[in-house]
Structure 1
Amino acid sequence: MSTEEDVRRIATALPETTERTSYGTPAFYVAGRIFARLHEEPGVLVCWRADTDERQALLDADPEKFFTTDHYRGHAGVLVRLGRVDADELSELLAEAWQARAPKRLRRPPG
């Protein structure tokens, strides 16, 4: 189980990440591009993916953890139920979101 504080701790540890508000909730940016934000619904994270295929793979793999709404139709972001992911999985999701949005100069090759 992860919390909003886990999101903040993990996200702000990523290179050149800043926190500011988006849609009235805390959001995390790299080089001015949002990669994650806490949703208006408590315990839910909006987390960017590289593309909609990657998002769909998560939705198909575990609908108890990942979901979407009509608002995000066609969007590469996925909604994550924080209570259903542990800190390791949250770290991986946020790192991937950061990689998807960070400029090339900041990205490191995987591994």
Structure 2
Amino acid sequence: MMPRNSGAVGGVCAYAPDMATVEDVRWLGSSLERSYEVFVRGRLKFRVGSIVYVAFSLDETEMGFGFPKEERAALVASTPEKFHLPRESEMRFNWVESSLAELDPVEACEFVVDAWRLCVPKKVSAAYDLTHPGGPGPDRPETGPADGPANGGER
């Protein structure tokens, strides 16, 4: 399962056009229906109910995400510098790991949405498609110096 809307979405999903960061996808995970952010042993994760669909390493250099077991070997083989299999104890889950530095921000957002789709009812996913026909990204809140922490905004 490659990202649903592969390709650029105008770069609105991220600040840096060449490599993804946690902040590039954090707003998205927090905005998806039924999704919520948690910290487990210091690691940022996104859940739907009790199901984790995205998790970041402690140093925030890797992002693990829900991905169909049947398709992950092909994904890893296609670009091993970007993707790798989870550790042996997690192979039973629909999961793959990625290096954030190798993902572009739009691609990272697409993987987050596709992982979320695995956890929500089809009607919820279909409603997202109706409101986001261009894929993830257009709703990213604009942040800049004026709405940073010093001015009451979040970073």
Range class of TM-score, shorter chain: 0.7 to 0.9
Q: CA offset at residue 23 of structure 1?
A: 4.2
Question: Corresponding residue for 1:60?
Answer: 77
Q: Which structure is larger by alpha-carbon Rg, 1 or 2?
A: 2
TM-score normalised by the chain length of structure 2 = 0.62
Alignment-mate amino acid for residue 54 of structure 1:
E
Structure 1 Cα separation of the partners of residues 20 and 72 of structure 2? 20
How much has 1:52 moved relative to structure 2? 0.5
Number of the residue aligned with 1:15: 33
Q: Partner of 2:47 in structure 1?
A: 29
Query: Do the aligned partners of 1:31 and 1:103 also contact (CA within 8 Å) in 2?
Result: no
1:82 lines up with 2:82 in the alignment? no
C-alpha distance after superposition, 1:57-107 (max 9, x if no partner)? 211111100012323223211001000011110111011100011133422
RMSD: 2.0
Deviation at residue 6 of structure 1 after TM alignment: 1.3
Q: Report how many residues are paired.
A: 110
Structure 1 letter corresponding to 2:126? R
Matched, 1:3 2:21: yes
Pick the aligned partner of 1:70 from 88, 93, 109.
88
SS at match of 1:58: helix
Identity of paired residues, percent? 25
Structure 1 moving runs of 4+ over 6 Å: none
Structure 1 residue runs of 5 or longer lacking an equivalent are none
- Higher strand fraction: Structure 1 or Structure 2? 1
